[in-house]
């Protein structure tokens, strides 16, 4: 408390009752609240007044008033105890209370699971008490009292079980609830006492025994006829809503026209109101009657009332068969009784559905396309739903069933694709058509004329393509000698050459210290280097190697270097002469078995058909590899040594040219239509290259003129 302060206390029934207020005597920091209701939740707050100024109320403190109290009573010992108490109402609409326990001397059970519910003025209620022993079995007496009038005392008239001392377990009794029993909103108490040797005495401790208290709710009841039930149905269930007299009910139902009833008990205590009856048959009429129960007395049932379950709304399984270019057979199953079926269909990717009312059962097939023909080689989706008789809304549709109508020869072959694309070739495939042959045509993008390739099968390999060039291609079916429609253009660009990766795990102990190449008729290339598991010199100009197509006695010299121990090193050198991105076995120009000699050297020839480098970025690669204790294998890593790649440019051998190049005149420049070439033979041959080194045109001069009007704007040689 605070010196000189006074306090105001207010309290109410939680959470929203009316506040009641009291002023606390000055100098006092407590207050006794009277007039409360037992077993009720309250909240209390306090405010402080100092110097005539009153502050805000404190936060609420919650409390619950205790129930009616009974004389204290406990058991003693650790052996003899109550192991189970079960109380069963004679009203089958009330679940039994079953509680198993161990020796605790005394327990007051207040949980919802241990609440006992009984009907006032009911007969044939049952109590069962099981005895337990942690050690030796003894003769134990059991007595149970139920405070029917809820006056806080257990009288002899309120004993519902008396069992003399013996080892029998469990002990049971039936009892009645008097019509004068308390039926208010609160609970009363059942006390069960077990005592060794002699009968328990109320309010005296049970020596070598145990005491248990339970909350009991005695409720008023009526078995007057309730109101007629109402129903909400699905195809397999019905929700039965019951109003009017009674707190517990027995509901009986059967299929109309049969005689055997199925009974179900329902009550708030069972947790099944409103009652849901499951496992019913779709599209079936049932009869129902409801009666109230008080104790074990069943009242007069309501007149029979009927309900009919809905048809089964489950979407059917849909299958599509017998597909032709213009039709498809649609089948649906199983068929639900008391319903009709509707189909909707559309092209996949469109938004508008076409609706079809399907034939009545037992029919379950429909030829889609029989009214409006479907389009060949088109993908459609189909769904089917049923509608219960007497209803106006469709049940859910089935999942979409997707199918594609058959192709006809005139339709362009689908599936045109490239399965492998290399710098100068392409493997091409497309979907076959029965009995057809094919024509594939292709061209460089921007070139007007096509190159046509006939094929008996649905795949072929295009060769002779130009690296890093964009092409377009199309394919067409040929049926009985008549071509269909070409596919839309398929564009692709040939790639550049890519070589496999290869390296050593370590170059610490040894490495390639120098590579020397002495080409016949070209300058020598020398490259000294330090240790590295792999080095790419293809972009280093001073290491570029020049060679002549068809040359012989080209020489390569490789020097080795060790750090510490001298090991035996194997050498392999490849040159990709045909520039296909692979180092073939016939392109291995030099090998040296593992040895400690340095340098090692060898000579090799350049094939007469080796790839000629027309532009800076089109070159072939020389790979030099050194491996400890073995000859390197291309595209395979090894533990110790080094790998180096080099650029090799191959040129054609120089041919004697009787023409004086300096006297040739070519004009005009720039040119739009006709290019004139003077001071040369009128029948000389010519070749035109674009800036990428690709051959664009060639031919023979006619009257010293070349028609270039079809060339696109650009720089040419």
Residue that the structure tokens 């057979």 belong to: 329
Please give the Cα distance from 214 to 192 (Å, whole number).
Answer: 8
The pLDDT of residue 570 is above 70: yes
- Six token digits for residue 250: 């027995």
Given this model, what pLDDT does residue 668 score? 83
Q: Is the CB of residue 242 less than 8 Å from the CB of residue 227?
A: yes
Report the 10 Å Cβ neighbour count for 39: 14
Given this model, what pLDDT does residue 176 score? 97
The pLDDT of residue 280 is above 60: yes
The predicted model gives 503-520 an average pLDDT of 97
Summarize pLDDT for 586-635 with one digit per residue, the tens.
999 999 999 999 999 999 999 999 999 877 678 899 999 999 999 999 99
The pLDDT of residue 521 is above 70: yes
pLDDT bracket for residue 667 (50, 70, 90): confident
The answer to which of 276-280, 380-384, 521-525, 665-669 has the lowest mean pLDDT is 665-669
> Which 3 state secondary structure label does DSSP give 352?
coil
Summarize pLDDT for 52-65 with one digit per residue, the tens.
888 999 999 999 99
The predicted model gives 578-582 an average pLDDT of 89
Q: Is the dihedral of CA 440, 441, 442, 445 positive or negative?
A: negative
| % of the chain residues with pLDDT over 70 | 97
Q: What is the pTM of this model?
A: 0.54
Report the 10 Å Cβ neighbour count for 413: 24
Given this model, what pLDDT does residue 327 score? 97
Q: Is the dihedral of CA 179, 181, 183, 188 positive or negative?
A: negative
Q: Which residues are CB-neighbours of 160 under 8 A, at least 6 positions away?
A: 127, 144, 145, 146, 173, 175, 190
Please give the Cα distance from 498 to 252 (Å, whole number).
Answer: 83
Please give the Cα distance from 433 to 79 (Å, whole number).
Answer: 91
pLDDT bracket for residue 110 (50, 70, 90): very high
Domains of the chain, each with CATH number or no CATH: 5-65 (2.60.40.10), 80-219 (2.60.40), 226-308 (2.60.40.10), 323-404 (2.60.40.10), 417-494 (2.60.40.10), 504-651 (2.70.50), 665-707 (no CATH)
Given this model, what pLDDT does residue 660 score? 60
């Amino acid at each position: 408390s605070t010196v000189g302060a006074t306090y105001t206390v207010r309290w109410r029934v939680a959470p929203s009752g009316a506040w009641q207020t009291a002023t606390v005597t000055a100098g006092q920091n407590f207050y006794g609240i009277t007039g409360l209701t037992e077993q009720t939740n309250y909240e209390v707050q306090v405010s402080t007044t100092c110097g005539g100024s009153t502050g805000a109320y404190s936060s609420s403190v919650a409390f619950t008033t205790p129930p009616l109290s009974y004389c204290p009573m406990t058991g003693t010992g650790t052996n003899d105890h109550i192991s189970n108490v079960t109380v069963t109402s004679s009203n089958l609409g009330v679940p039994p209370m079953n509680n198993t326990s161990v020796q605790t001397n005394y327990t007051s059970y207040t949980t919802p699971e241990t609440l006992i519910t009984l009907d006032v003025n009911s007969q044939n209620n049952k109590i069962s008490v099981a005895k337990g022993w942690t050690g030796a079995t003894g003769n134990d007496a059991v007595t149970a009292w139920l405070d029917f009038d809820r006056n806080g005392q257990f009288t002899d008239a309120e004993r519902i079980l008396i069992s003399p001392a013996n080892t029998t377990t469990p002990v049971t009794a039936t009892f009645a609830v008097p019509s004068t029993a308390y039926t208010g909103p609160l609970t009363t108490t059942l006390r069960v006492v077990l005592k060794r040797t002699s009968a328990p005495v109320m309010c005296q401790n049970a020596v070598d025994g145990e005491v248990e208290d339970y909350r009991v709710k005695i409720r008023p009841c009526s078995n007057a006829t309730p109101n007629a039930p109402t129903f909400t149905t699905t195809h397999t269930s019905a929700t039965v809503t019951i109003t009017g007299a009674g707190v517990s009910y027995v509901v009986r139902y059967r299929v109309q026209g049969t005689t055997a009833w199925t009974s179900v008990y329902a009550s708030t205590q069972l947790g099944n109101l409103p009652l849901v009856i499951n496992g019913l048959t779709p599209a079936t009429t049932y009869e129902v009657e409801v009666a109230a129960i008080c104790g074990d007395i069943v009242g007069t049932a309501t007149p029979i009332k009927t309900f009919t379950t809905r048809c089964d709304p489950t979407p059917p399984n849909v299958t599509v068969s017998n597909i032709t270019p213009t039709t498809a057979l649609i089948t649906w199953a199983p068929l639900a009784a008391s319903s009709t079926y509707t189909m909707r269909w559309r092209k996949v990717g469109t938004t508008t559905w076409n609706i079809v009312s399907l034939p009545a059962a037992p029919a379950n097939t429909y030829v889609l396309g029989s009214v409006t023909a479907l389009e060949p080689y088109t993908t459609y989706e189909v769904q089917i739903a049923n509608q219960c008789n007497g209803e106006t809304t469709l049940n859910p549709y089935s999942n979409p069933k997707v199918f594609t109508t058959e192709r006809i020869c005139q339709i362009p072959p689908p599936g045109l694709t490239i399965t492998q694309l290399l710098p100068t070739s392409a493997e091409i495939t497309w979907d076959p058509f029965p009995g057809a042959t094919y024509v594939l045509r292709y061209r460089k993008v921007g070139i007007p004329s096509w190159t046509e390739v006939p094929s008996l099968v649905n795949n072929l390999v295009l060769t002779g393509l130009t690296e890093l060039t964009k092409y377009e291609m199309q394919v067409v079916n040929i049926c009985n000698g008549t071509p269909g429609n070409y596919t839309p253009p398929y564009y692709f660009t040939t790639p550049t050459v890519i070589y496999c990766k290869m390296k050593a795990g370590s170059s610490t102990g040894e490495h390639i210290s120098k590579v020397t190449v002495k080409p016949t008729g070209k300058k020598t290339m020398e490259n000294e280097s330090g240790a590295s598991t792999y080095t790419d010199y293809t972009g280093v100009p001073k290491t570029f190697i020049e060679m002549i197509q068809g040359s012989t006695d080209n020489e390569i010299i490789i020097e080795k270097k060790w750090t510490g121990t001298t090991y035996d090193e194997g050498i392999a050198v490849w040159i990709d002469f045909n520039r296909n991105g692979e180092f073939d076995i016939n392109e291995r120009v030099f090998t040296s078995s593992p040895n400690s000699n340095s340098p090692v050297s060898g000579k090799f020839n350049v094939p007469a058909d080796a790839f000629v480098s027309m532009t800076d970025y089109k070159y072939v690669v020389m790979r030099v590899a050194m491996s400890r204790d073995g000859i390197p294998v291309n595209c395979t890593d090894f533990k110790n040594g080094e790998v180096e790649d080099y650029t090799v440019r191959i040129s054609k051998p120089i041919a004697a040219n009787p023409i004086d190049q300096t006297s040739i005149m070519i004009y005009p420049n720039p040119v739009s239509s006709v290019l004139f070439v003077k001071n040369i033979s009128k029948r000389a041959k010519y070749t035109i290259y674009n800036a990428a080194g690709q051959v664009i045109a060639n031919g023979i001069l006619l009257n010293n003129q070349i028609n270039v009007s079809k060339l696109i704007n650009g720089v040419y040689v």
